[in-house]
C-alpha cells in the first residue's frame, strides 16, 4: 500500500461479456462420447481385489460397472453405481477421484495414467438419467414413518434407501431448495445445467418421499416433536457456522464468507449481474478456497490470490484442484497468515499477512509482513456445526469436538435418532462420505424398526 491518494474500491458486475462468462463457467469435464467411454473402459484391468473399489467411500463395484459399459450396457452400469451411491451422478462430477479411486488404480501405479473412473461413472449415470427411468422399486409399505432433517447428500441418501425399503419419509429442509452442499456449495463449473436439482428429481422417483422446505430445526420444527410423531429421525444438518478469521478488520465491507458467496453465485441466474472486485484475495487452503478463487476469476477479477498459512504440501485441496486454479490464472501463495484487513471508509482496500515457517510440525510466525491490495477478501477457512437446533435436548445428544457423536451405525446417544454427514464427528466435507453415512444409517434404521415390529407381533 502506498501513501498516495486513497484508492476507491473497484467492485462491480458485468466485467466480462456473456461469451466470456459462458467459457469461464462451462463444464469442467465435458462428458465422454459413447465411443470414448468404450475406449476408456477397455483400459481397465478388472482387478479381482480392485484397489479402486476399496478406496471408494461408498464401495461402488467399479470393475463391474466398467465391464458393463464395455459390454454396451451403460444403464446396467448406472444401476450398479446407484445401488451403492444414489448420488453417483453428482459424485462423478465433484468427487476428488484423483485422491480416491483413481489414485490407487493399477494403471496409475504402472503408467501414471489411471482409468478415468469418474468420467466413466458420469457417462453411465447420465445415460440412465436422460432415459427418465428410475432403476429401483419400493418394497411393500411398512407403515413406518421417518423424519429426515436436512436435504443434503446425507439426508437424500438416507431418505432414498428408506423409501426403497417401503418406509414413508418426510424431509425437512431449512433452505428454499433441496440439495444441500450439491445445490449451494459446489462450484458452478463443476455441476452445470442445474444438475443438482435434476438429480433430486430423479431420486424422488422412487416414491414415498415428501420434502418440506423452509423448515429449520429449532425454529419451525423441533426434535422432541419429531421423535413423538415419527418412528425414527435422521439428522443431516451439515455445517451452518463459519469459522472466524481472527484478523483485525474482518467485518469491513468487502470481506465475505466464501461459502455464502458461492451459494449466492449458484442461485444467480444472470452472472453478469454478480459484482466482483478487480483484485480479490481468498484466505484458505481447501476446495472452497479454490472454488471461490476460480469463480472470482471467471467473473472477471483481474487479480485473484489464494493465500494459505501453511506450505503447498499441507493444502487440503488436491494437487489437481491446485492445478485447475493455477491454469485459470489464480495465484497460489503459501506460508502467509492473515493479520489485518486494511480498510478505508469502512471498505476493504487490502490485507496484511505475516509470513510463517513450519518447524517440527508447528507453525511459527516470522514477523515479516506482506501486504496485498484487494477490493474483496473471501474467507474460506472452514465451517463449524451449530447445535442450536438440537439445544432443547442437547444434554441427551453427545457431542465431540463440536459435532454430533455417532457410533458405527450412525446412531446418536439419543434413542431413535441417527445422524450423518458433515455434522457428525469425522465428517469430511465430501459428498461421497455423506452419502455413505446416509446409507449406513438407513440400513440400521430399517433393521431396528423391523426388529421392533417383529417383537410387537410376537
Looking at the structure, tell me whether residues 257 and 335 fall in a common domain. Answer: yes
Looking at the structure, tell me whether residues 247 and 341 fall in a common domain. Answer: yes
Looking at the structure, tell me whether residues 100 and 228 fall in a common domain. Answer: no
Encode pLDDT of 266-310 as tens digits: 999 999 999 999 999 999 999 999 999 999 999 999 999 999 999
Do β-strands 145-149 and 168-173 pair in parallel, antiparallel, or remain unpaired?
A: parallel
Q: Residue 5's pLDDT is what?
A: 55
Distance, CA of 420 to CA of 236 (rounded, Å): 5
H/E/C letters for each residue in 211-257? EEECCCECCCECHHHHHHHCCEEEECCCCCEECCCCCECCCCECEEE
Residue 95 near residue 434 (C-beta atoms within 8 A):
no
Q: Which triple of cell numbers denotes residue 342?
A: 486494511
Among residues 382, 402, 434, which one ends one of the domains? 382
Distance, CA of 239 to CA of 123 (rounded, Å): 31
Within 8 A by CB and 6+ apart from 245, the residues are 255, 283, 338, 341, 379, 381
Given a cut of 80, whether residue 417 has pLDDT beyond it is: yes
Single out the residue of 317, 458, 301 nearest to residue 378, CA to CA.
Answer: 301
For the chain, count helices (H), then strands (E): 16, 19
H/E/C letters for each residue in 370-397? EEEECCEEEECCCEECCCHHHHHHCCCC
Looking at the structure, tell me whether residues 254 and 377 fall in a common domain. Answer: yes
How many CB atoms within 10 Å of residue 353? 23
Taken as a whole, the chain contains a residue count of 458
Looking at the structure, tell me whether residues 307 and 372 fall in a common domain. Answer: yes
Q: Residue 2's pLDDT is what?
A: 47
Distance, CA of 203 to CA of 159 (rounded, Å): 9
Q: Which triple of cell numbers denotes residue 369?
A: 509482513
The phi, psi pair for 332, rounded to 5°, reads -105, 120
Looking at the structure, tell me whether residues 313 and 444 fall in a common domain. Answer: no
425 within domain boundaries? yes
Q: Residue 393's pLDDT is what?
A: 54
Distance, CA of 86 to CA of 253 (rounded, Å): 41
The conformation of residue 324, written as its DSSP 8-state character, comes to H
Mean pLDDT of the chain: 93
Distance, CA of 185 to CA of 258 (rounded, Å): 10
Q: Which triple of cell numbers denotes residue 55?
A: 478406496
Encode pLDDT of 117-149 as tens digits: 999 999 999 999 999 989 999 999 999 999 999
6 within domain boundaries? no
Given a cut of 80, whether residue 400 has pLDDT beyond it is: yes
Residue 424 near residue 237 (C-beta atoms within 8 A):
no
Q: Residue 29's pLDDT is what?
A: 87
Looking at the structure, tell me whether residues 247 and 378 fall in a common domain. Answer: yes
Q: Is 270 helix (H, G, I), strand (E, B) or coil?
A: coil
Count of the separate structural domains present in the chain: 3
354 within domain boundaries? yes
222 within domain boundaries? yes
Looking at the structure, tell me whether residues 229 and 247 fall in a common domain. Answer: no
Given a cut of 60, whether residue 4 has pLDDT beyond it is: no
Report residue 188 CA to chain centroid gap: 12
Surface-to-core class of residue 112, CB atoms within 10 Å of its CB (0-12 exposed, 13-18 middle, 19+ buried): exposed
Distance, CA of 229 to CA of 372 (rounded, Å): 55
Q: Any idea what the CATH number is for the domain that residue 78 is in?
A: 1.10.1060.10
Q: Which triple of cell numbers denotes residue 311?
A: 506450505
Distances (CA, A) of 157 to 31, 88, 363, 452, 454: 24, 11, 39, 23, 26
Least confident of 157-161, 201-205, 364-368, 454-458: 454-458
414 within domain boundaries? yes
Q: Which triple of cell numbers denotes residue 390?
A: 438440537
Looking at the structure, tell me whether residues 214 and 226 fall in a common domain. Answer: yes
7 within domain boundaries? no
Q: Residue 1's pLDDT is what?
A: 46
The more confidently predicted of residues 260 and 389 is 260
55 within domain boundaries? yes
Instruction: Tell me the pLDDT band of 391, cut-offs 50, 70 and 90.
Output: low
How many CA atoms, within 13 angstroms, populate the side-chain half-sphere of residue 150?
29
Encode pLDDT of 91-106 as tens digits: 999 999 999 999 999 9
Instruction: Tell me the pLDDT band of 216, cut-offs 50, 70 and 90.
Output: very high
Q: pLDDT over 70 for what percent of the chain?
A: 96
Given a cut of 70, whether residue 109 has pLDDT beyond it is: yes
Among residues 342, 360, 382, which one ends one of the domains? 382
27 within domain boundaries? no
Looking at the structure, tell me whether residues 190 and 127 fall in a common domain. Answer: no
* Type and span of the H or E element at 320: helix 319-327
Looking at the structure, tell me whether residues 279 and 377 fall in a common domain. Answer: yes
Residue 359 near residue 236 (C-beta atoms within 8 A):
no
Tell me how many degrees the CA angle 373-376-381 measures, rounded to the nearest 5.
105
44 Ramachandran zone, left/alpha/beta (phi>0; psi -120 to 50): beta
**What does the pLDDT average to over 144-167?**
98
Encode pLDDT of 223-253 as tens digits: 999 999 999 999 999 988 778 788 888 889 9
Among residues 101, 131, 161, which one ends one of the domains? 131
Encode pLDDT of 427-451 as tens digits: 788 899 999 999 999 999 999 999 9
What is the extent of the structural domain holding 160?
A: 145-240+385-457
Looking at the structure, tell me whether residues 160 and 252 fall in a common domain. Answer: no
Q: Any idea what the CATH number is for the domain that residue 151 is in?
A: 3.50.50.60
Q: Which triple of cell numbers denotes residue 385?
A: 456445526
Do β-strands 303-307 and 331-333 pair in parallel, antiparallel, or remain unpaired?
A: parallel
Amino acid at each position: 500500500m502506498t501513501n498516495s491518494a486513497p484508492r476507491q474500491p473497484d467492485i462491480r458486475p458485468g466485467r466480462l461479456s456473456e461469451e466470456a462468462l459462458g467459457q469461464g463457467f462451462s463444464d469442467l469435464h465435458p462428458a465422454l462420447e459413447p465411443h470414448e467411454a468404450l475406449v476408456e473402459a477397455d483400459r481397465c484391468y478388472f482387478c479381482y481385489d480392485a484397489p479402486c473399489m476399496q478406496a471408494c467411500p461408498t464401495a461402488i463395484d467399479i470393475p463391474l460397472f466398467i465391464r458393463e459399459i464395455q459390454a454396451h450396457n451403460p444403464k446396467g452400469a448406472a444401476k450398479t453405481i446407484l445401488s451403492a451411491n444414489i448420488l453417483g451422478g453428482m459424485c462423478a462430477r465433484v468427487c476428488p477421484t484423483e485422491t480416491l479411486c483413481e489414485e490407487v488404480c493399477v494403471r496409475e501405479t504402472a503408467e501414471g495414467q489411471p482409468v478415468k473412473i469418474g468420467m466413466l461413472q458420469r457417462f453411465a449415470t447420465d445415460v440412465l438419467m436422460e432415459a427418465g427411468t428410475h432403476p429401483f422399486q419400493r418394497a411393500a409399505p411398512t407403515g413406518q414413518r421417518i423424519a429426515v432433517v436436512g436435504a443434503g447428500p446425507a439426508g437424500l441418501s438416507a431418505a432414498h434407501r428408506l423409501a426403497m425399503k417401503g418406509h414413508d419419509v418426510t424431509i425437512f429442509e431449512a433452505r428454499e431448495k433441496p440439495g444441500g452442499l450439491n445445490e449451494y456449495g459446489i462450484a458452478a463449473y463443476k455441476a452445470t445445467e442445474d444438475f443438482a436439482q435434476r438429480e433430486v428429481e430423479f431420486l424422488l422417483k422412487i416414491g414415498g418421499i415428501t420434502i418440506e422446505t423452509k423448515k429449520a430445526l429449532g425454529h419451525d420444527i423441533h426434535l422432541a416433536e419429531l421423535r413423538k410423531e415419527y418412528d425414527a429421525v435422521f439428522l443431516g444438518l451439515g455445517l451452518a457456522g463459519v469459522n472466524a478469521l481472527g484478523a483485525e478488520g474482518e467485518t469491513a465491507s468487502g470481506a465475505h464468507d466464501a461459502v455464502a458467496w458461492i451459494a449466492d453465485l449458484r442461485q444467480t441466474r444472470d452472472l453478469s449481474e454478480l459484482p466482483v472486485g478487480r483484485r480479490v484475495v481468498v484466505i484458505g487452503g481447501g476446495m472452497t478456497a479454490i472454488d471461490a478463487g476460480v469463480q472470482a476469476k471467471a467473473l472477471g477479477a483481474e487479480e485473484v490470490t489464494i493465500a494459505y498459512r501453511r506450505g503447498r504440501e499441507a493444502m487440503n485441496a488436491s494437487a489437481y484442484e491446485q492445478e485447475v486454479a493455477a491454469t485459470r490464472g489464480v495465484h497460489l501463495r503459501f506460508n502467509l497468515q492473515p493479520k489485518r484487513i486494511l480498510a478505508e471508509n469502512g471498505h476493504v482496500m487490502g490485507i496484511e499477512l505475516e509470513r510463517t515457517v513450519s518447524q517440527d510440525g508447528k507453525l511459527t510466525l516470522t514477523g515479516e509482513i506482506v501486504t496485498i491490495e484487494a477490493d474483496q477478501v473471501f474467507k474460506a477457512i472452514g465451517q463449524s456445526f451449530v447445535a442450536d437446533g438440537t439445544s432443547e435436548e442437547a444434554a441427551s445428544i453427545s457431542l465431540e469436538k463440536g459435532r454430533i457423536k455417532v457410533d458405527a451405525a450412525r446412531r446418536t446417544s439419543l434413542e431413535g435418532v441417527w445422524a450423518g454427514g458433515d455434522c457428525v464427528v469425522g465428517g469430511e466435507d465430501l459428498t461421497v462420505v455423506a452419502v455413505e453415512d446416509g446409507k449406513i444409517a438407513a440400513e440400521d434404521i430399517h433393521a431396528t424398526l423391523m426388529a421392533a415390529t417383529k417383537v410387537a407381533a410376537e
